[in-house]
Amino acid sequence: MSARVGTIHGVGLGPGAADLLSVRADRLVRGASHVAYFRKAGRPGQARRIVEGMLRPDAIELAMEYPVTTEIPLSDPRYNACLAAFYADCSTRLTALAQTGADVVVLCEGDPFFYGSFMHLHARLSGVVPVAVVPGITGMAGAWTATDVPITWGDDVLTVAMATLPEDELVRRIRDTDALVVMKIGRNLAKLRRAVATAGRAEAAWLVEHAAMPGQKVTRLAEADSVTPYFSILLIHGQGRRP
């Protein structure tokens, strides 16, 4: 074993465009000898797509393929058990690399500490090997920028919710906030649409798909028939105090 232990870098790549990486993220990605990233089996992965053309020719890539995404309901105990085993295995593999002295860059869509898979590695790696995190622009920031309208003004309260919440909870959250971001829409669009209508805010709601990516699309919720399973965000802009 090398005397030196490498560092695992969780690097935020931002919402989807390579030129939205921070200077630090760009430097780490371009200089990395080992690069790891999550992806769905059989897919290249969004994080890997963002850095296409940026990696060293000799960079060693480690694809971490999710064993399950939407195939098992979140409420099924098998879902957590399956993912827990997956993250434990990924952490073991990364630890082994770090203990050889290698630094590893883990590519993270958006920000590593904002609903990202890297958080589950961080919880397992911290205290075992050195871990460093590089923040990134969140997908929701890319989404509200795509609408060309500020998301908050003055004293507006911003709520970030998941469309996977129960419908009555969504209604409460939508009704009680000034500005709103809803993520993880996918198969929950019909439920979310009902919740927004019940809260009386249907006319103010927007859907943004693939923010800061090829194929970016901004539509009013009332005009949207469907959304892509991933990379879709609902927004309601605050209308608060301003000079």
Domains along the sequence of the chain with CATH: 8-137 (3.40.1010.10), 140-236 (3.30.950.10)
Residue 224 has what pLDDT? 85
For β-strands 232-236 and 179-183, DSSP reports them as: antiparallel
Query: Cα–Cα distance between 84 and 79 in angstroms, integer?
Result: 9
Residue 48 has what pLDDT? 97
Residue 96 has what pLDDT? 98
For β-strands 232-236 and 205-209, DSSP reports them as: antiparallel
The segments of the chain whose pLDDT lies below 70 read 1-2, 69-72, 74, 229
Query: Cα–Cα distance between 179 and 237 in angstroms, integer?
Result: 5
Residue 227 has what pLDDT? 77
- The structure tokens listed for 86 are 């997956």
How large a percentage of the chain has pLDDT more than 70?
96
Classify residue 128 by its DSSP letter: T
Distances (CA, A) of 60 to 34, 65, 121: 5, 16, 19
Q: In this predicted model, what pLDDT tens digit does every residue of 80-125 receive, in sequence order?
A: 899 999 999 999 999 999 999 999 999 999 999 999 999 999 999 9
- Name the β-bridge partners of 34: 60
* Strand ranges, E, within the chain: 8-12, 34-40, 60-66, 104-108, 131-134, 158-162, 179-183, 205-209, 217-220, 232-236
Query: Cα–Cα distance between 122 and 124 in angstroms, integer?
Result: 5
Residue 70 has what pLDDT? 61
**Phi, psi torsion values for 105, nearest 5 degrees:** -100, 120
| Single-letter code of the amino acid located at 111 | D
For β-strands 34-40 and 60-66, DSSP reports them as: parallel
